[in-house]
């Protein structure tokens, strides 16, 4: 960042006297510094004959290595009556293998300074490892054993089922979670995203070990896998050990399961959808949104900027209009999830029951004027988005995660840099054109909990 630009930004902070501008200043500096370090890190990518993808990025001198295995699939492939089965499977996955029981996995991992975990998202499953680089080979053997040879012990399955059901019940004590689940049922009712990743109490209660074993066999196949390694491990060493455990695996699990071709009802929405639900909470909560492009669309980066303008940070429109200027809400923001099938631009706010009507009105007003963006506002949004994005790349663990994430979402790991270029190229006219394409008042979906 040159001296004139720093002086200009500092002057703007002083003139505006706004914390948001200070944050923009910080992320702008981090953006340029991190870009210098990030762009010159060499990345290797290789695909084995069985379809398994391996990505490697070396960071010397850190003494650590991060491994992120992404498996295509996730909760999106679940049947309604099996909601939560994939998430439960990932919880039981590290609890026993052909070679180790749960206690032995924990003891060996701890002795190596390694942590191994598994989780499920809408569009993918993830198994991760973090370890001292000097213990990488031994820790990776345990990691591969968990991925390739799980036994899903009945006792561990029952323990995790109880924990999952307790977690689902505890969500009912959080107004955001309750409102968000109900909103997802509205906006994504034609798509599998309407199902909570953790499932429902009734569906999880009925799940069996056979069902989670079936989900494992369906998803944990080499052609569905992307392994990302980042850290103090050179390429030759990493490749050798990955080949040892994954190159010659033809089928992980049992017989091949052919994925179903699912079609979705994409009938156009012709009028607004609005539902009000009573609740036990003293506060009220509101979600308003509309369907937005999935991650594969050209408009993806544009919508990320739209979301930044409307609801990201303390300089966003929602924060200023609903909290700083009027004090109507105790929280308000927006988000635009990265999804494979369809997404949504979603605004939300928590307020008192007495203020819910005026908050709804203001949210709709903000929605209707999203395309009214100035060059200055767009410039600030770009700095904020790029800066926070690259700050999230500070650790090798996150860099490893992003490399694998873009691959499992079918964007290719090099989109990590291209994404920033696309953000920089967005114009005010792009925002107006794209917003008009996807939004009209008739397409809004509103959920009120009060």
Burial of 96 (0-12, 13-18, 19+ CB in 10 A): buried
Ranking 29-38, 151-160, 364-373 by mean pLDDT, the lowest is 29-38
Query: Please, which pLDDT band fits residue 326 given cuts at 50, 70 and 90?
Result: confident
Minimal CA–CA distance to 172: which of 205, 148, 198, 152? 198
- Which strands sit side by side in the sheet containing 43-47, from one edge to the other? 43-47, 53-58, 225-231, 64-72, 124-132, 115-120
Minimal CA–CA distance to 226: which of 210, 209, 242? 242
Place of tokens 């340029």: 32
Residue 29 has pLDDT above 80, yes or no: no
Cβ neighbours, 10 Å, residue 395 = 15
Residue 30 has pLDDT above 70, yes or no: no
Convert the pLDDT of each residue in 359-369 to its tens digit: 999 999 999 99
Mean pLDDT, range 406-420, rounded to an integer: 95
Residue 382 has pLDDT above 50, yes or no: yes
Minimal CA–CA distance to 242: which of 140, 129, 323? 140
For residue 225, what pLDDT is reported?
A: 97
DSSP string, 422-449: HHHH--HHHHHHHHHHH--GGG-EEEEE
Q: What is the SS3 string spanning 302-339? A: HHHHHHHHHHCCCCCHHHHHHHHCCCCEEEEEEECCCC
Q: Is 138 in a helix, a strand, or coil? A: helix
Note whether 362 and 328 are within 8 A (CB).
yes
Residue 8 has pLDDT above 50, yes or no: no
For residue 36, what pLDDT is reported?
A: 45
Q: What value does the CA radius of gyration of the chain take, rounded to a whole number of Å? A: 23
Convert the pLDDT of each residue in 263-304 to its tens digit: 566 667 779 999 999 999 999 999 999 999 999 999 999 999
Q: What is the DSSP letter of 284?
A: E
Residues in the chain: 450
Q: For residue 72, list its beta bridge partners.
A: 124
Six-digit token pair at 268? 């156009």
Q: Is 119 in a helix, a strand, or coil? A: strand
Q: What is the DSSP letter of 154?
A: H
Cβ neighbours, 10 Å, residue 324 = 13
- Which are the contacts of 151, defined by CB distance < 8 A and separation ≥ 6? 96, 97, 98
Q: Is 152 in a helix, a strand, or coil? A: coil
For residue 217, what pLDDT is reported?
A: 93
Q: What is the DSSP letter of 410?
A: T
Mean pLDDT, range 106-118, rounded to an integer: 97
Query: Please, which pLDDT band fits residue 250 given cuts at 50, 70 and 90?
Result: low
Distance CA 362, CA 310 (A): 12
DSSP string, 360-400: HHHHHHHHHTTT---HHHHHHHHHHHHHHHHHTTSSHHHHH
For the chain, list the domains and their CATH numbers. Answer: 10-39+269-449 (3.30.830.10), 43-247 (3.30.830.10)
Residue 17 has pLDDT above 50, yes or no: no
Residue 37 has pLDDT above 60, yes or no: no
Place of tokens 């992980």: 252
Q: What is the DSSP letter of 220?
A: -
Distance CA 324, CA 301 (A): 28
pTM, full prediction: 0.89
Strand blocks (E) in 161-272: 225-231
């Amino acid at each position: 960042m040159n001296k004139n630009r720093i002086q200009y930004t500092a002057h703007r902070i002083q003139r505006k006297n706004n914390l948001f501008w200070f944050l923009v200043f910080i992320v702008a500096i981090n953006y340029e510094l991190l870009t210098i370090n990030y762009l010159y890190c060499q990345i290797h990518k290789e695909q084995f004959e069985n379809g398994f993808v391996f990505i490697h990025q070396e960071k010397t001198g850190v003494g650590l290595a991060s491994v992120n295995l992404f498996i295509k699939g996730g909760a999106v492939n679940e049947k309604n009556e099996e909601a939560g089965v994939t998430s439960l499977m990932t919880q039981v996955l590290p609890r026993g293998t052909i070679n180790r029981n749960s206690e032995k996995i924990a003891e060996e991992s701890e002795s190596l300074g390694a942590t191994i975990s598994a989780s499920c998202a809408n569009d993918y499953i993830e198994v991760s490892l973090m370890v001292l680089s000097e213990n990488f080979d031994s820790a990776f053997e345990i990691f591969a054993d968990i991925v390739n040879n799980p036994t899903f012990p009945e006792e561990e399955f029952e323990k995790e089922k109880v924990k999952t059901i307790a977690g689902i019940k505890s969500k009912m004590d959080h107004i955001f979670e309750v409102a968000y689940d109900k909103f997802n049922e509205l906006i994504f009712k034609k798509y599998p995203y309407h199902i909570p990743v953790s499932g429902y109490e009734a569906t999880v209660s009925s799940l069996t070990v056979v069902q989670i074993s079936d989900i494992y066999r369906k998803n944990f196949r080499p052609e569905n896998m992307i392994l990302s390694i980042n850290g103090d491990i050179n390429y030759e060493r990493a490749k050798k050990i990955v080949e040892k455990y994954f190159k010659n695996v033809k089928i992980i699990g049992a017989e091949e399961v052919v994925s179903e071709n699912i079609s979705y009802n994409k009938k156009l929405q012709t009028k607004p959808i609005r539902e009000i639900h009573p609740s036990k909470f003293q506060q009220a909560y509101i979600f308003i949104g509309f369907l937005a492009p999935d991650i594969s669309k050209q408009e993806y980066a544009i919508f990320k900027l739209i979301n930044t303008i409307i609801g990201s940070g303390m300089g966003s429109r929602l924060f200023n209009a609903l909290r700083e200027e009027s004090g109507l809400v105790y929280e308000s923001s927006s988000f635009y999830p990265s999804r494979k099938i369809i997404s949504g631009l979603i605004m939300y706010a928590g307020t008192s029951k007495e203020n819910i009507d005026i908050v709804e009105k203001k949210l709709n007003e903000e929605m209707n004027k999203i395309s009214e963006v100035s060059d200055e506002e767009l410039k600030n949004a770009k700095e904020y988005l790029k800066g926070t994005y690259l700050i999230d790349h500070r650790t090798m663990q996150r860099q490893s995660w992003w490399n694998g994430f873009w691959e499992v979402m079918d964007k290719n790991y090099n989109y990590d840099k291209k994404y920033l270029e696309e953000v920089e190229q967005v114009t005010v006219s792009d925002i107006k054109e794209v917003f008009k394409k996807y939004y009209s008042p008739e397409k809004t979906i509103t959920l009120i909990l009060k």
